[in-house]
C-alpha cells in the first residue's frame, strides 16, 4: 500500500490544485498543440469554476496517459517541483460540500502551508 502521493501543483484564479504525477507523461506549451486537435480538455470546464471569465496566465498542456486513455489537460501556473505528501494528510470533503462535487474530478483536500489544496483525479477529466 502506498504511503505517499506525489503531486503536481498548479493554481487557477487563486485556487490551489494538485494531481497525481503518475499519469502525466509530459508538459508543454499550449501553443504547441495543433489547432483542432482532439483530446484537449480545459481544466476549468471540468470543475465548473464559479468565477467567469476564467483567465489562464501561464497555461500549460499536460499529456495524460494511462491504459487506453490519452488526452491533453490545460492547466495554469504549474509549480516546478512535485510535492510528496503522506496519504494520511489527505482529508475527504465535508459531507455538505461533497454533494456538490460528485460530477467533478475533485476528490479530496490536503492542507499545505496554511492553504487548502484541492486534489484532482486527472483520469476523471476525460469523461
**Which residue intervals of the chain are DSSP H helices?**
43-47, 95-98
Chain segment 8-19, per-residue pLDDT in tens: 999 988 889 999
C-alpha cell at 28: 508543454
The percentage of the chain sitting over the pLDDT mark of 70, rounded to a whole number, equals: 91
Q: Looking at the 3D structure of the chain, how many domains does it have?
A: 1
User: Nearest-CA neighbor of 124 among 108, 105, 111?
Assistant: 105
Cα separations in angstroms, 101 against 12, 44, 55, 104: 17, 14, 22, 5
| pTM to 2 decimal places | 0.87
**pLDDT exceeds 80 at position 95:** no
What's the domain range around 24? 4-126
Sign of CA dihedral 105, 17, 34, 55: positive
User: Within a 10 A sphere around the Cβ of 45, how many other Cβ atoms?
Assistant: 11
Amino acid at each position: 500500500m502506498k504511503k505517499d502521493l506525489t503531486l503536481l501543483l498548479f493554481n487557477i484564479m487563486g485556487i490551489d490544485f494538485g494531481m497525481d504525477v503518475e499519469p502525466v507523461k509530459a508538459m508543454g506549451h499550449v501553443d504547441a498543440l495543433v489547432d483542432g486537435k482532439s483530446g484537449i480538455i480545459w481544466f476549468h470546464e471540468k470543475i465548473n469554476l464559479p468565477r467567469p471569465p476564467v483567465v489562464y496566465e501561464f497555461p500549460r498542456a499536460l499529456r495524460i496517459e494511462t491504459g487506453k486513455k490519452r488526452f491533453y489537460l490545460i492547466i495554469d501556473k504549474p509549480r516546478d517541483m512535485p510535492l510528496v505528501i503522506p496519504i494520511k494528510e489527505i482529508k475527504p470533503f465535508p459531507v455538505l460540500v461533497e454533494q456538490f462535487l460528485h460530477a467533478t474530478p475533485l476528490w479530496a483536500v490536503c492542507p499545505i502551508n496554511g492553504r487548502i489544496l484541492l486534489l484532482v483525479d486527472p483520469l476523471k477529466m476525460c469523461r
